[in-house]
Structure 1
Amino acid sequence: MDSNVPGLSHVILQKLNMKTYEDYKSAMDGRKSGSDFGIRTYFDMFQKMEDTFKFCAECKKLPDALPDPKSLRRCKRCQNVYYCSVACQRANWPLHKKFCKKLKLVALDRLVEWLVFTGDIPFPTETWTKPAQDVKTWEDWFAMQGQLEEKLGAILAGRYMTLLWANAGKPRPEDGELRESIRRLVTDFHSRPLTIGLGLRLFGINPLAKTLTVHVVGASHVETLNTRLTDYDELTRMFPGHRGMELVMVGVDVVNGPIMRPPLATLAPQGRVHLSSYKGLYHDFWESHVETKLATRPDLVVGFHPGFHACPDLLAGWLPTLLLLRDYRLPVLFTVYSEQELKSSLQILVELEMHIMGYATNPFASLRPEQVYSSPNKAPVYCSSYYIALLGLAASAVPGAEELEEDDGWQGGEPSAAGVAGGNTPGLG
């Protein structure tokens, strides 16, 4: 349980009798029938996925450790956590009541996320009617979406939404709750392209002036499972008239699919976002493709939740890439889930003498709450909650970096087109 991560975890795959994310994608695409994995019906699939979260939130016992595995009962309020007895539920309530309402959203979004794989989410979006620098929040973005309520209504009335609640084993929520869930999942889907767009603005990189290449370093199933060639077209709507962009997903856990094609050796087509990928380590990709001109040098490198703060082994794996990014003075934008992760990551980057240009809350963080830990009774996290902007080698120690270890809070602010707001960091040119 401790290895659970946001998104489709290996634990869920095991419950579905699937070995890889490609198996899951094949089942969703209809290339393999569910019976290939022991799944006979939609109800069976949803129940197997729900089994991942079945353990007593108080004593941590799994169903197999109980005299009657069916004795686990779900909290009626949140429909998310389980208890093996009334005694455990009562003992856990003082802690659970702090998170019960939020965990209800976690459980709902976990089911509605299926509509991302069926193609119902996201809905078709519009070309931005405001300059990118004037779109500062998700509400600004939603305000530009014409006929929004009609689009949400079509998803609510769709075939797959009906199938979902006929088979989920839970009562269908009110339409208002489902609309809000769809909105949260739409922000989760578009958070990555909008964060890339934010990174371009923060570094003063103008998509209208030149053809751009963006490398997504450390890409995994989170960025590439079920990814379609059009999934980052929101960048075209964000920067209408751009000269062309290529996004190259680079990582050892890149999932096979439509974007598994070689990076371009020439510039991307004008006015289009071209997706490609490389399955392997970034420093290997740099040596085999960038240095040999089989791929173009990036204008921006983005890492969504690199996770090098988590343990020494992960940091050791990331070290060659971090040093490459530093020594080649590449503009880099990393995102993290939480404030604590931000502090830990900043400390590592300071020790590596990387020039921290700024760090702040991300206005385009996902609004979808996610349960991460084996204990559900902790505050949910949100994808790309904070960002860190880096550029090359630090000329000198970053002022105030030593405060990160002791200060419970940190100084950051709203990003702007002119620079990254950070209490102890300069703006970007």
Structure 2
Amino acid sequence: MKDRSATGQDLQKCARCKMSWYCSRECQKEHWQIHKKKCEDVEGTGLSRLVRKLQSNKWLLFLLEVCVVCNSDLLRRKSDPDRPFMARINVGIEPTDISVCYQLFTGAEFESEMEGMLQLNAVTPLEDPGPLAPHMMPLWNNFREVTNGLGFSSDAVGLLEFVNTSDHSITTSIHITQPALEYAQAAKPFRGHSALFGVSEVPFSAMSCLEQINSHIRSDSKNLLQLRVL
């Protein structure tokens, strides 16, 4: 798989993990003995692992719920919990070091292997053409039953389709909790603290909510969230 820098140089990207770039095919072959020990199929089991880790973190999952509430108009639809909904989450693996992006686009020298991290690029509600596709309904029905059994029959549940730049996708379920609805309803701005700028506020929106998720992942330099890959 090739990418092209601003200088016109073709860059080889590992087709399996989508994260290691090389200046030539020969360089990629030479490095394979080292890289194969860490190479993980990001589009297959690797992406599944990252999605599981994302949804296992309570704060990130909560923010994702809020984002889905905003984009899928669930504040208006909250009175109809038995109406299925689905949203598409476009994800990517981006370099953790911003200087790497600069190097890639300027054609400068760069390390043959670099660290990447999961980033959420967009949340798009799938339009309501009617019932979910037949192969999706059993997944939704099962999750609806599980959520009902836990005492949350009045809460909305839906499906999330995580996709990257390929045709590969992973579908999971999501439970929209009452706190997420209340958080979206309040629409309070996000507050940040910076040594340079002090306290700042970002207006609440689906996009700023998504950026909160991404910035939380970016700030995890020790990879405690396990959302970084080599």
TM over 0.5: no
Greater RCO structure (CA 8 Å; 6+ sep) = 2
Higher strand share: 2
The TM-score normalised by the length of structure 2 is 0.34
| Larger Rg, first or second structure (1 or 2) | 1
